[in-house]
Structure 1
Amino acid sequence: MTEWVHLAVGLAALLMIAIGVSYAGRLNRHRDLLVASLRAVLQLAFVAVALRGVFAAPVTSIAVVAVMFTVATWTAARRLRPTEAALAAVMLSCGAGASVVIAIIVALPTLDRNVRNFVAVSGIVLGGTMTAATLAGRHLGEGLRRRRDEVEAWLSIGATPRQAVREVARWAASEALVPALDQTRTVGLVTLPGAFIGALLGGASAVEAARFQIVVLVGLLCAEVITVVLLTYLLGAPRQLPAG
């Protein structure tokens, strides 16, 4: 019981500091910080209970991954709401990126083929594609607004919308990969990622934990490259440019 009290006090202290700093810095994010933290607590509590049933009945893992995919794509598409056809583009690009990686990891099998690895890898990869899609879409929108004159100049000399936007789309896709590249470059030197720590805490040896983590990191790179390239292609021929 004491450990739960300590957990609650520690979380409350961290959240209060975050909200206080946000308020002092006039970031207007204090409500978002509170809501996001409360949602995380409730959702993880629910998942912890639900996964017991999943591990007992492996076939239900498909439903769990489907829910993850739905929430991930809806979240990314919501961030790109002003962009036409955002949801369909996000679903197709994230689905392509995640399915290739998950299929390779499960089919070879790159890791031990079990429900725990399937659910864990699927969640991590889907989360990565969600972030990559959000970044790529937002960078694309930003680039179209900032370089509107350049795009219009290409259109004025007869370029198609896709040709006019090509360089902006390439820039957006490249920028969206920066966090994943930095994470992979600095693993073990700057950070010990969650998958590595989680595997250690779960009883795996350091070698097994490192094996799991490197598969996850390279898998994330693969999934995110596919996602950002496909997404910027699908959104890279807009019928109307965003307002400058």
Structure 2
Amino acid sequence: MSLLSTGLAVLALTAVTFALVARLRLERPWLQPWAIVRACVQLGILSLLLTGIIADPRWVAVFLVVMVLAATAVSARRLEVGMRGAVVVLLVIAVSAAVPLGVVFTLGAVGVDSRSVLALAGIVIGGTMTVTTLMGRQLNAALSTQHDEIEGWLALGATPRRATQRLVRMAASTALVPSTDQTRTTGIVTLPGAFVGAVFAGASPLEAAQFQVIVLSCILLAAAIAVTLVSAAFGAPATLRTPASAATATPRDAIDPSRSAP
């Protein structure tokens, strides 16, 4: 695989993506090409850094912290939460990723070496970020549009958390769909990256399959913890906006931990 052929393929794929998105007149059609540019730059820098990072566990720890902070920044920006909300998102991503990783390494399912920790943690943190963002956006949309349902429950004497229970469950179920479907279709619809990478690195197909199952199990547990924590933090607004104000409100107005009741 030459650098020139890789560049030409990426350029062609990105150009077609941009043309389709622009033709559909979607919002900010430049986001996809910009994402590719960023990915190329970031992967290039990562390739240079990993040689030194992998050799030193301390640098691996620093790099994992940077990954969590970057994931938090992306998710918090998507959800348009304030500083307090960003802290909550940070805790959600950190805890959700740490629990399954702790289980795997404690039980010895994966060796506690720099390469394994970095590879597994990177995948789990990325999956946790995606689920957290999806859960937050789905919940925000529900709280903004289903005002009458929530108000009706409150009028009947329900607590804020009970009034939003159905909407929270729907948002959580939707957020879990990608990771669940990825697990269900592994080996049938897709050949997952961890499996292919392990085989290319010299592992036997059985060893690669074992690692992939661990990865998928970690992603599922991290996703379940993430939706649980998001539900606890944002799923019981203490006040409701009127339907008119909901139409012009930002996600920050709906998803705000300072406005959540027990």
Normalised to the residue count of structure 2, the TM-score between the two structures is: 0.88
Query: Partner residue of 1:236?
Result: 235
Query: Partner residue of 2:255?
Result: none
8 Å contact from structure 1 (residues 94, 130) kept in 2: yes
Query: Partner residue of 2:140?
Result: 141
Against the structure 1 CA distance between its residues 183 and 7, is the aligned structure 2 distance closer, same or farther, given a 3 Å change threshold? same
Query: Partner residue of 1:224?
Result: 223
Query: Partner residue of 2:252?
Result: none
Query: Partner residue of 2:258?
Result: none
In 2, Cα distance between equivalents of 1:167 and 1:33: 34
In 1, Cα distance between equivalents of 2:149 and 2:29: 38
8 Å contact from structure 2 (residues 128, 223) kept in 1: yes
Query: Partner residue of 1:80?
Result: 79
8 Å contact from structure 1 (residues 172, 232) kept in 2: no
Query: Partner residue of 2:163?
Result: 164
In 2, Cα distance between equivalents of 1:162 and 1:88: 22
Flag structure 1 segments of 5+ consecutive residues without an equivalent: none
Query: Partner residue of 1:208?
Result: 207
In 2, Cα distance between equivalents of 1:158 and 1:49: 60
Q: Does 1:23 align with 2:22?
A: yes
The alignment covers a number of residue pairs equal to 243
In 2, Cα distance between equivalents of 1:170 and 1:219: 21
Offset at residue 170 of structure 1 (A) = 1.5
In 1, Cα distance between equivalents of 2:116 and 2:21: 37
8 Å contact from structure 2 (residues 123, 215) kept in 1: yes
Offset at residue 239 of structure 1 (A) = 3.0
> AA paired with 1:48?
S
In 1, Cα distance between equivalents of 2:174 and 2:75: 16
Query: Partner residue of 1:131?
Result: 130
Cα offsets for 1:193-235 (capped at 9, x unmatched):
1111111111111111111100000110001000111111110
Identity of aligned residues (%): 40
8 Å contact from structure 1 (residues 80, 86) kept in 2: no
Q: What do you get for the CA RMSD once the two structures are aligned?
A: 1.6
Which of 118-127 and 233-242 deviates more? 233-242
> AA paired with 1:173?
A
> AA paired with 1:222?
L
Query: Partner residue of 1:70?
Result: 69
In 2, Cα distance between equivalents of 1:214 and 1:44: 25
Cα offsets for 1:129-180 (capped at 9, x unmatched):
1000011111111111232101011122332222211221121111110111
Which of 159-168 and 134-143 deviates more? 159-168
Query: Partner residue of 1:38?
Result: 37
4+ long deviations beyond 4 Å = 82-85
8 Å contact from structure 1 (residues 169, 233) kept in 2: no
Flag structure 2 segments of 5+ consecutive residues without an equivalent: 248-262
Offset at residue 85 of structure 1 (A) = 4.2
Give SS of 2:197's match. helix
Give SS of 1:177's match. helix
Which of 27-36 and 175-184 deviates more? 27-36
Query: Partner residue of 2:190?
Result: 191
Normalised to the residue count of structure 1, the TM-score between the two structures is: 0.94
Query: Partner residue of 2:12?
Result: 13
Give SS of 1:139's match. helix
> AA paired with 1:212?
F
8 Å contact from structure 2 (residues 64, 118) kept in 1: yes
